[in-house]
Copies of this chain bind each other. A is one copy, B any other.
Amino acid sequence: MNPSTPLYLDDLQPGQRFASPASFTLDEASIKSFAARFDPQPFHLDDAAAQASIFAGLSASGWHTAAITMRLLVTGGLPFASGLIGLGGEIAWPRPTRPGDTLRVESEILDVRPSRSKPHQGIVTVKNTTLNQHGEPVQVFTSKILVFRRPASAATL
């Protein structure tokens, strides 16, 4: 469950789970407009081409799914006080995202690694699973995030 106040490195430990408070519904127009700008391939732009493709119907760019996932994480899904500063990670798209799909994200802390050289920060590994309205994963992103310790001035709050 998500905490009532944002979390610092000090507060995080493996096994903690979070869920995006919001969800995000994709429509056909936004799938096509994102694709036109960033992933102009026929199966993301044209219904007939999409039907004839391996996707057997219109699907969103994986990068659109990734961007929506980030929005869900930033707007409360991963309540880190120092923000979500991603260093990178491993991403997979096990199935397409379709027009009308409603996405949400579930996250789990896998690892918390304080920096040896910079004592005020650390790297947290988080597995973020983006699910559609059927509970099927459409993206799994295991991310490495730079997280800061609670500032001294906030220590006694």
- Among candidates B54, B63, B92, residue contacting A85 with C-beta atoms closer than 8 Å: B54
* Chain A 32-60 per-residue mask, 1 if CB under 8 angstroms from chain B, else 0: 00100111111100000000001000000
CB-defined contacts of A34 to chain B, threshold 8 Å:
67
CB–CB A68/B38 < 8 A: yes
CB–CB B67/A63 < 8 A: yes
CB–CB A38/B71 < 8 A: yes
Interface size class of chain A, counting residues whose CB lies under 8 Å from the partner chain? 20 to 34
Q: Does A110 contact B (CB under 8 A)?
A: no
Within 66-105 of A, Cβ neighbours of B (below 8 Å) are at 66-68, 70-71, 74-75, 83-93
15 sample A-B contacts, Cβ–Cβ < 8 Å, listed by A number: A34-B67, A38-B67, A39-B74, A40-B71, A40-B74, A41-B83, A54-B85, A61-B67, A62-B86, A63-B67, A66-B66, A67-B67, A86-B93, A89-B90, A91-B91
CB–CB A75/B43 < 8 A: no
Whole-angstrom distance between the Cβ of A16 and the nearest chain B Cβ? 21
Q: Does A146 contact B (CB under 8 A)?
A: yes
Q: How far is the CA of A39 from the CA of B86 in the complex (A)?
A: 11
- Among candidates B63, B87, B146, residue contacting A63 with C-beta atoms closer than 8 Å: B63
Chain B residue at minimum C-beta to C-beta distance from A53: B83
Q: How far is the CA of A84 from the CA of B77 in the complex (A)?
A: 30
CB-defined contacts of A93 to chain B, threshold 8 Å:
86-88
